[in-house]
Amino acid sequence: MKTFTASLLCLTALASNAHASSPDAWAAYDKTVLASCTKASGLKNAKPVGNAAQFDDRVGYTAVLLQGQYPQKHMKGQQGTELCLYNKKSKTAFVTEWDSIRPTAKTQ
């Protein structure tokens, strides 16, 4: 019985540790998300704005706001903003333009 109880305690400890992530694991995950979002982005020199938003595992996404320049010649290097949703399960990034997040310039 002692062996069974000790084995059960070890398995419980291992299971609880599996859910905890180290700072190094989070840093590696953040790097993966940023690389995937930057690759999926259509912006030149895309950089994150602030930190990624970590949604609950039930949602399954991490959101990253990116800014950079539009690559199209007719856009003349205009700044653009995109929202990237990174699917944790499929490890895929989906990007959409989100320039409306920035305030518009007021005309006097």
15-35 confidence digits (pLDDT tens): 334 456 899 999 999 999 999
Q: Identify whether the C-beta of residue 50 lies closer than 8 Å to the C-beta of residue 34.
A: no
- Look at residue 85 and tell me if it is in a domain: yes
- Look at residue 82 and tell me if it is in a domain: yes
- Look at residue 81 and tell me if it is in a domain: yes
- Look at residue 86 and tell me if it is in a domain: yes
Q: Identify whether the C-beta of residue 94 lies closer than 8 Å to the C-beta of residue 62.
A: no
What domain range is 65 assigned to? 42-102
Q: Is the pTM of this model over 0.85?
A: no
Instruction: State the first-to-last Cα distance of the chain, in angstroms, to the nearest integer.
Output: 82
Does 12 or 71 have the greater pLDDT score?
A: 71
Total tally of structural domains belonging to the chain = 1
- Look at residue 61 and tell me if it is in a domain: yes
- Look at residue 16 and tell me if it is in a domain: no
Average pLDDT along the chain: 83
- Look at residue 5 and tell me if it is in a domain: no
